[in-house]
């Protein structure tokens, strides 16, 4: 199952916000990503149609099992790729930005090899806890 980068970014953002906020709404996503409410609304419709999220009558957005799996995978990639870049001397802000680009394009085979390397040779960052 392949999802486009935009869908993956939205799902990852919903996951992150759900860890910070009691409920996630479209307006929260728009603020977090600095996108228009209209753009977020269209994206939420697409994610709902693809059974990645549910939206309550009150407008609260929840990841489905399918959405949570995708979001968790993208989030893990982002965290580990950021950690690797910081480990090799990239500043944290640039590492996070670059990891966001890389997380969508790396094959699972390469990611698993990098993951093994990162766990062995790169110290854990504060953000990973």
> Is 53 found in the same domain as 14?
yes
CATH number, position 110: 1.10.60.10
Say yes or no: 59 and 19 in one domain. yes
Residue 62: helix, strand or coil by DSSP?
A: strand
Q: Which of 104, 114, 106, 113 is nearest to 84 (CA)?
A: 114
Co-location of 58 and 108 in the same domain? no
pLDDT in tens, 22-79: 999 999 999 999 999 999 999 999 999 999 999 999 999 999 999 999 999 999 999 9
Same structural domain for residues 21 and 45? yes
33 exposure class (CB count in 10 Å sphere: 0-12, 13-18, 19+): middle
Is residue 79 located within the same domain as residue 115? yes
pTM equals 0.86
Are 48 and 87 in contact by the 8 Å Cβ rule? The answer is no
94 compared with 120, residue with greater pLDDT = 94
Domain boundary pick from 37, 66, 95: 66
- Model pLDDT, residue 81: 93
- 59 and 88 belong to one structural domain: no
One domain, residues 44 and 96: no
Q: Are residues 111 and 99 in the same domain?
A: yes
> Domain residues for 102?
70-128
- In a shared domain, residues 59 and 81: no
Per DSSP, helices labelled H in 1-129 are: 5-20, 26-33, 37-49, 65-87, 92-102, 108-121
Residue 59 to residue 74: CA distance in whole angstroms: 24
Of all residues in the chain, what percent carry a pLDDT higher than 70? 94
Check pLDDT > 70 for residue 2: no
Work out whether the CA dihedral 30, 63, 69, 87 comes out positive or negative. Answer: positive
Number of domains present in the structure of the chain: 2
């Amino acid at each position: 199952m392949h999802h486009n980068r935009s869908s993956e970014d939205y799902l990852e953002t919903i996951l992150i916000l759900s860890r910070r906020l009691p409920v996630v709404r479209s307006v929260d996503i728009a603020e977090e990503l600095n996108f228009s409410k209209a753009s977020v609304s269209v994206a939420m419709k697409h994610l709902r149609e693809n059974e990645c999220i549910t939206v309550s009558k009150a407008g609260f957005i929840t990841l489905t099992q399918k959405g949570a799996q995708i979001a968790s995978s993208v989030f893990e990639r982002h965290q580990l790729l950021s950690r690797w870049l910081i480990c090799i001397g990239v500043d944290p802000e640039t590492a996070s930005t670059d990891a966001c680009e890389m997380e969508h394009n790396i094959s699972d085979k390469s990611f698993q090899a990098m993951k093994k390397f990162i766990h062995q040779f790169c110290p854990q960052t504060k953000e990973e806890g």
